Structure 1
Amino acid sequence: MTDQTLTLHPIGQIRTSFANKVEAPRQPAAATGASGIIELFAGRNLEHALEDLAGWERIWVIFWFDRNTGWRPKVLPPRSTDGRKGVLSTRSPHRPNPLGLSVLRLARIEGLLLHVLDVDLLDGTPILDIKPYVPYTDAFPDSGSGWLAPGAADPGRHFNVGFSEEADSQLAWIAGRSPLPLRERIVNTLKLGPQPHPYRRIKRGRDGGLTLAVQDWRIDFSVDDLQVNVLRIRSGYNATQLASGAGEPDDPRVLHQAFVAAGLHRDG
């Protein structure tokens, strides 16, 4: 039994706005409102399998972490405050078998398309199975939470995120020239906690300042109790990288060069 091989066949895939790992929320609870569409494959009699699912508000979605190339016995979860944990005590995607499990809100069903909300999956993720979420059997709110700090199991204490006039102006400029929902990404990350952490791409500089990285942008911010203040947006490219020139029009440096030329960039 130790070397037994099992075969799984995806029943569909999900379409979302998250193209890579750093864009996707870490849990469905952090993805409130994020939408997606599960596309089930035709020709497999799945139309009948979907019957009676429409009345359920939430569904379990079992999927395959297809972007992972291996597993790690010890990982550093975003909410760990004292080092690495055994992977089986976490929700990390770096598992012996890359199976994922998420609870999504079911908005509606159109044929073989399931419109879902609170999505934390990458675009194109293979879907293996779908089950209804049954509140009275699936929810145990009083259960112990292991290594999580007391009260950390419920991240209800969100931070408020505000923007300076400079940051507002910079974000408006970027929004008019890029499809990246930068403001939304900033809020969704910082409202859950502005503490430095590699998974959230938050670092503290030598001067004590805090910076969040979102793709090629750097966001400087400060924290006052539960208030996060976004101070400014900076290009993640240095002067040498920008001066080397951008080749094709879709080279991301083109936008950053224009950002600097418009006088919107300044070092933190």
Structure 2
Amino acid sequence: MDKQSWQFETIGVVHTLQKYRYETPRQGVFSGCDGEIELFRPYGGDAIADLAGFDRIWVIFCFHLNSGKNWKPKVRPPFPAGGSCRSIFATRSPYRINPLGLSCVELAGIRDNILKVRHIDMLDGTPVLDIKPYIPEADAFPDSAAGWRDEVPQADALCWQVEHSELFTRQAAFIMKHAALDLYNFAAVQLANEPLDSSRKRLKHLEHDRWSLGCRTWKIIFCANEKSRRISVEKVESNYSAADLAPDAADPYADKEIHRLFLQEW
């Protein structure tokens, strides 16, 4: 049979606070991220009338930031860090021949053509191709063998305990209010698993056990105790210099006024 090409119609789009690749968790179940799926007309109404009552739904979507042109037959999964390369079809890597994603999310509510969802691992602007209900007796096989995944330690055993200081909590709330960026959840998700993996995170070693983790134009300062596997999140700092924040400086991300307000407060 000859290769065939197919064209699909986008039925909706994801709205969430996460905009960049590094802001997404490895899977939605590890995420505290919420969002909405806006269904385009005429894909709301009768098309979703019987979806109410389902706790979870499957979302088929497109990795719109990945072209699929640079796929490789073997990839290195993020878990465990430093592990072996695995066959692309034996992983959930987003870099695939066809940039298609499949995610099971919690359905929190329906309003007109808007689906409110929780625990998502998609970015803002993600095109949605299809939605299906999650049916436990058909979709859950907890006793199934998981190939190479059965050979590595369970994720829970490798998780780090993340503690947030009062200062960081107040700073994160300020940034959430003024910039709609959830640094509290970002730190919780990114630092709970492989927090010192600099190949996948914007990390900078400061001194001794102190590190900084970059997120957009901010940096999160934390301490990592590798022996006890504890992370102590200390504070947030602006990643702009004084020259960057000069009145006549360019503002490509339109956020420098928020940084100036932040520095006045702290």
- The TM-score with structure 2 as length reference comes to 0.81
1:22 aligns with 2:18: no
CA gap 1:258/1:155 in 2 versus in 1, 3 angstroms: same
2:232 counterpart letter in structure 1 = N
Give distance in 2, aligned partners of 1:238 and 1:87.
41
Q: 5+ residue gaps in structure 2? A: none
After superposition, the C-alpha distances for 1:35-75 in whole angstroms (9 at most, x for unaligned) are: 2222222135x533324222221111111111212342133
CA gap 1:15/1:176 in 2 versus in 1, 3 angstroms: closer
Structure 1 segment 104-119 matched on structure 2, within 5 A? 104-119=105-120
- Root mean square deviation, CA, Å: 3.1
Q: Which moved more, 1:139-148 or 1:119-128?
A: 139-148
Q: Paired residue for 1:236, among 235, 239, 261?
A: 239
Structure 1 segment 148-187 matched on structure 2, within 5 A? 148=149, 149-152=151-154, 154-155=155-156, 158-164=159-165, 167-168=168-169, 170-171=171-172, 174-175=175-176, 177-187=178-188
Structure 1 segment 1-268 matched on structure 2, within 5 A? 1-32=1-32, 34-43=33-42, 47-70=45-68, 71-73=70-72, 74-80=74-80, 81-148=82-149, 149-152=151-154, 154-155=155-156, 158-164=159-165, 167-168=168-169, 170-171=171-172, 174-175=175-176, 177-204=178-205, 207=208, 209-224=210-225, 225-237=228-240, 241=244, 246-248=249-251, 251-256=254-259, 262=264, 264=266
Q: SS where residue 23 of structure 2 aligns?
A: coil
Give distance in 2, aligned partners of 1:242 and 1:146.
51
CA gap 1:83/1:213 in 2 versus in 1, 3 angstroms: farther
The alpha-carbon deviation at position 104 of structure 1 amounts to 0.8
Q: SS where residue 88 of structure 1 aligns?
A: helix
Give distance in 1, aligned partners of 2:99 and 2:212.
31
Q: SS where residue 179 of structure 2 aligns?
A: coil
The alpha-carbon deviation at position 98 of structure 1 amounts to 0.7
- The TM-score with structure 1 as length reference comes to 0.80
Give distance in 2, aligned partners of 1:2 and 1:122.
34
Give distance in 2, aligned partners of 1:50 and 1:168.
39
Q: Which moved more, 1:162-171 or 1:213-222?
A: 162-171
Give distance in 2, aligned partners of 1:83 and 1:115.
37
Q: How many residues align?
A: 260
The alpha-carbon deviation at position 172 of structure 1 amounts to 5.6
Give distance in 2, aligned partners of 1:37 and 1:171.
22
Q: Which moved more, 1:186-195 or 1:167-176?
A: 167-176
After superposition, the C-alpha distances for 1:65-106 in whole angstroms (9 at most, x for unaligned) are: 112123421333221332433322221111000110000111
Contact residue 78 and residue 197 of structure 1 kept, 8 A: no
The alpha-carbon deviation at position 202 of structure 1 amounts to 3.7
Give distance in 1, aligned partners of 2:203 and 2:86.
20
Q: 5+ residue gaps in structure 1? A: none
The alpha-carbon deviation at position 221 of structure 1 amounts to 1.8
The alpha-carbon deviation at position 134 of structure 1 amounts to 1.6
The alpha-carbon deviation at position 241 of structure 1 amounts to 4.9
